[in-house]
Structures are given as structure tokens and as C-alpha cells.
Amino acid sequence: MSIQRIGDIVLIQLSDIDSNIYVIGDTVIDSGTGFNFTKLYSLLKMLNIKLEDVKHVINTHGHFDHVGGNGYFLNASISIHEEDAPILENGDLKVSMADFFNGKLKPRHVDRKLRDEDGIRIGSMDCKVIHTPGHSPGSVCIYCPKEKILFSGDTVFSDGVGRTDVPGGDPEALNQSLEKISRLDVKKILPGHGEPVLSDGNKIIVQLAKAGVQPVD
Ligand SMILES: [Zn+2]
Ligand SMILES: [Zn+2]
């Protein structure tokens, strides 16, 4: 369990199976599994953040390790890409992989269905939705051009790329998505798992895009 501050962004890591949780003002990017909710609750309390003060939850994609905690943010609107939205709306245990995690996923209304190039406000930053299918059909990265920050979900990590051997995974689509984000001016990569990259993010993305992923037979 750890907390890191990256400027105004708070990164909370609860366990090996929870996604990274980013708190920026009244916005949370990915909510973890929900299994370690009491830990999250006390960490937020330490940071003087009340659950009811969180107004927006943005999910980078519909996998359980990123959306399982959504249910705890009752005052928050939920945003997710339109192609992964049905996972939340239907409480889809298979496609979300909640079954695999032995978790529960209650159907949840999606307030905003994100699309490529949509503008989105993250705390005080003006950012943009980048649709990056491959790890899942509705995976997105959130790019904040002024700050040169990329919230990369499970599309790209500091040391590799997202798995494609999961429901809806598509190696060819992931390669195209990597190529797409390699053209962005990125300093910091804030991924869905593992450690953030705090400088030269673009170099890492270009390398990973070059290496690419091999299609599975
Ligand atoms: Zn994940
Ligand atoms: Zn995932």
C-alpha cells in the first residue's frame, strides 16, 4: 500500500491486484477492485478527501481491477468509453473478468460514454480522450497536452504493454493504438499498474510501439 504525489495528482496503490487509483481534485481515474475499500477509505481520509466529494469517476476500461470500486463513489458520475460501457451497464462478470477475480459487479449507470478526441476535464487540467483499443475494445488513454501527462490505463506501462489474451483483446488493434500514442508529446506516463514514468515518457512509448505485440494464433 502506498501513496505518491505527482504534482496535484495523488497515486494510490492498494495491492498487487488493484489498479492504480489516481485522485485529482474531485476526479478519480480508476477505482481498483473495491476489495481493499477500507484501506482506500482511510487513505482518502488522511488526504482530507471525503468519498462524497468525488464527483467524477473515469474508468480507463471495463476490467474489474479498474471498476470494482466504482460502487463506493455514490455521488460520482461514471465515464467510460462507449465500447466498454455495456460491461458496467450490464454488470458483465465475464467480460469485466469479475468472475476471474472472484468479485461482484453490480450494474451501474454510465453517465458519460467517451469517444475518441472528446475533451475531458481532470481536476484543473484540460485533457483529451484517446481511444486505444487492444487490451479491451473500449480502452482509453487520457492525454493532458499542457502538462504532457498521459493516463495510460492498461494500454502501456513503464516496462511493457497491456495483455491481449483477455476477453476483447486484439494485438493488431493494440499495435495501432501504440503507434497512435507514440505521436503524442508525453513527459509523464501514469499507467494503470506499476510505477509512473516521470520523464521522457514519449521515448518509452516509441520503444514499446516499435517492439509491438505479436498476434496470437
Ligand atoms: Zn488492469
Ligand atoms: Zn485491464
Between residues 217 and 66, which one has the greater pLDDT?
66
Give the distance (Å) from ligand 1 centre to CA of residue 27.
Answer: 19
Give the ligand with the smallest distance to the CA of 18. 1
| One-letter amino acid of 192 | G
Give the distance (Å) from ligand 1 centre to CA of residue 61.
Answer: 8
Give the distance (Å) from ligand 2 centre to CA of residue 61.
Answer: 7
Give the distance (Å) from ligand 1 centre to CA of residue 26.
Answer: 22
Q: How confident is the model at residue 217 (pLDDT cuts 50, 70, 90)?
A: low
pLDDT tens figures, 31-70: 999 999 999 999 999 999 999 999 999 999 999 999 999 9
Q: How confident is the model at residue 214 (pLDDT cuts 50, 70, 90)?
A: confident
pLDDT computed for residue 187 by the predictor: 98
Distance CA 128, CA 36 (A): 30
Mean pLDDT of 176-198: 98
Instruction: Report residue 131 as a C-alpha cell.
Output: 481511444
pLDDT tens figures, 81-134: 999 999 999 999 999 999 999 999 999 999 999 999 999 999 999 999 999 999
Q: Which residues surround ligand 1, an ion (CB under 5 A)?
A: 19, 65, 154, 192
What residues make up the domain containing 17? Answer: 2-211
Cα–chain center distance at 103:
18
Contact indicator for 196, 188 with CB cutoff of 8 Å: yes
Instruction: Name 53's Cβ contacts closer than 8 Å, sequence gap at least 6.
Output: 26, 75
Contact indicator for 199, 188 with CB cutoff of 8 Å: yes
Give the distance (Å) from ligand 1 centre to CA of residue 98.
Answer: 12
Give the ligand with the smallest distance to the CA of 192. 1
Q: Does 217 fall in a domain?
A: no
| Distances in whole angstroms, Cα of residue 19 to Cα of each of 1, 147, 183, 207, 216 | 12, 23, 26, 24, 25
For the chain, how many structural domains are there in total?
A: 1
pLDDT > 70: what percent of the chain?
Answer: 99
Domain CATH code at residue 155: 3.60.15.10
Q: Does 216 fall in a domain?
A: no
Give the distance (Å) from ligand 1 centre to CA of residue 32.
Answer: 9
Q: Does 33 fall in a domain?
A: yes
pLDDT > 90: what percent of the chain?
Answer: 96
For the chain, where are the E strands, in sequence order?
Answer: 2-6, 9-13, 21-24, 27-29, 56-58, 77-81, 112-114, 119-122, 125-131, 140-144, 149-153, 156-157, 160-161, 188-191
